[in-house]
């Protein structure tokens, strides 16, 4: 074995350690822990919230904006993705499923826009119900594919559902129904 192999191996291992250490998110803050424990998927909740750089320093108010923004971004991105899939799939059944999901996501986007306005006006009373409706839209879309082996949306519905649960929890905390 030449002397270069151990050096190369050491360098690669060092780079892997540095990369994996840099990729690990910080431990969840107490607020994130409290919020995510109320959702259906704690790890997914933490991962989704930490996609926003403001999360480690966020208070409840900023966390509300983060969660609504992330949910809206997820919903609009998923809606665009559904449109692209619908153009590429000629199967009548697949197109019907995608059209249904597209309608579900149109409704979810509308609810999230209203929720953002509610949050922005500091009234908060609609946050829980609006996010609940958007979550039901994601659940309805998921149900469309329940009897199919084709799962074109991956975990997008689940991410939206969890983010909507976060919005609902925070909304209730503003109006006396939670923390």
Question: Judging by beta carbons within 10 Å of its beta carbon (0-12, 13-18, 19+), is residue 43 exposed, middle or buried?
Answer: exposed
The CATH code that applies to domain 27-174 is 1.20.140.40
pTM: 0.84
CB contact set of 27 (below 8 Å; sequence gap of 6+): none
- Is it the case that residue 2 has pLDDT exceeding 90? no
Give residue 20's pLDDT.
Answer: 46
pLDDT score at 88: 85
Give percent above pLDDT 90 in the chain.
74
C-alpha dist (Å) from residue 5 to 32, 43, 70, 158, 176: 45, 39, 45, 45, 63
The Cα-based distances of 165 to 12, 32, 134, 162, 179 in angstroms read 41, 13, 10, 5, 14
Please give the average per-residue pLDDT across 21-46, as a whole number.
Answer: 88
What is the predicted pLDDT for the residue at 89? 74
Q: How far apart are CA 160 and CA 138, in angstroms?
A: 7
Write the pLDDT tens digit of every residue in 89-120: 778 999 999 999 999 999 999 999 999 999 99
Average pLDDT over residues 58-66: 97
Which of 11-25, 67-81, 97-111, 117-131 has the lowest average pLDDT? 11-25
**Domain segments of the chain as ranges:** 27-174
- Tell which wins on pLDDT, 110 or 149: 110
Q: Does the pLDDT of residue 54 top 90, yes or no? A: yes
């Amino acid at each position: 074995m030449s002397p270069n192999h151990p050096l190369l191996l050491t360098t690669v291992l060092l780079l892997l350690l540095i990369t994996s250490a840099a990729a690990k998110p910080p431990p969840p803050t107490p607020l994130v822990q409290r919020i995510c424990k109320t959702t259906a998927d704690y790890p997914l909740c933490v991962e989704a919230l930490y996609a926003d750089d403001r999360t480690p320093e966020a208070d409840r108010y900023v966390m509300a904006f983060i969660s609504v923004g992330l949910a809206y971004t997820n919903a609009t991105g998923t809606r665009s993705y559904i449109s692209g899939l619908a153009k590429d799939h000629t199967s009548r059944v697949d197109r019907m499923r995608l059209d249904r999901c597209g309608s579900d996501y149109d409704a979810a986007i509308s609810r999230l826009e209203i929720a953002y306005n509610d949050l922005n006006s500091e009234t908060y009373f609609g946050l829980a119900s609006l996010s609940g409706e958007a979550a039901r839209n994601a659940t309805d879309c998921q149900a469309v594919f329940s009897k199919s082996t084709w799962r074109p949306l991956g975990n997008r519905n689940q991410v939206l559902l969890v983010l909507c649960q976060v919005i609902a929890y925070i909304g209730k905390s503003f109006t006396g129904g939670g923390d």
